[in-house]
Structure 1
């Protein structure tokens, strides 16, 4: 019986994260440098972001914004 294959988490580029948050990609890079969002470095030195973390942060910010509008 074969071992189950791990489903690696999708990693997003700064541009993809920027599109989700509607900000410039350089803003995403600044957030990562400041520790506001976790990032992974590729062997080539590029930043990548875990999709689950990005979507969780987006959901938190969205719920905070909608709660503030009530």
Structure 2
């Protein structure tokens, strides 16, 4: 049984911050407030799904 599931790449808070042009701490606050979902690594670091980040980025650009 071949499970060829393409996984969504994960981004660091710094990478997300670069896309939104904000400080990485702002991205962490968004995650704590529930504005963006995050995944915790075994080491306790936050990671964000690329597809969700891109969808939020597109939505933000449409509002402008």
Shorter-chain TM band: over 0.9
- Structure 1: runs of 5+ lacking an equivalent: 66-70
RCO higher in structure (CA 8 A, sep ≥6): 2
Residue 13, structure 1, aligned to residue 31, structure 2: no
If you compute each CA radius of gyration, which structure gives the higher value, 1 or 2? 1
Distance 2:43 2:35 in 1: 22
- Structure 2: runs of 5+ lacking an equivalent: none
Q: How many pairs align?
A: 64
User: Could you list the runs of 4 or more consecutive aligned residues of structure 1 that deviate by over 3 angstroms after TM superposition?
Assistant: none
Superposition RMSD in Å: 0.9
Scaled by the length of structure 2, what TM-score is found? 0.95
Where 1:45 maps in the other structure, the secondary structure is: coil
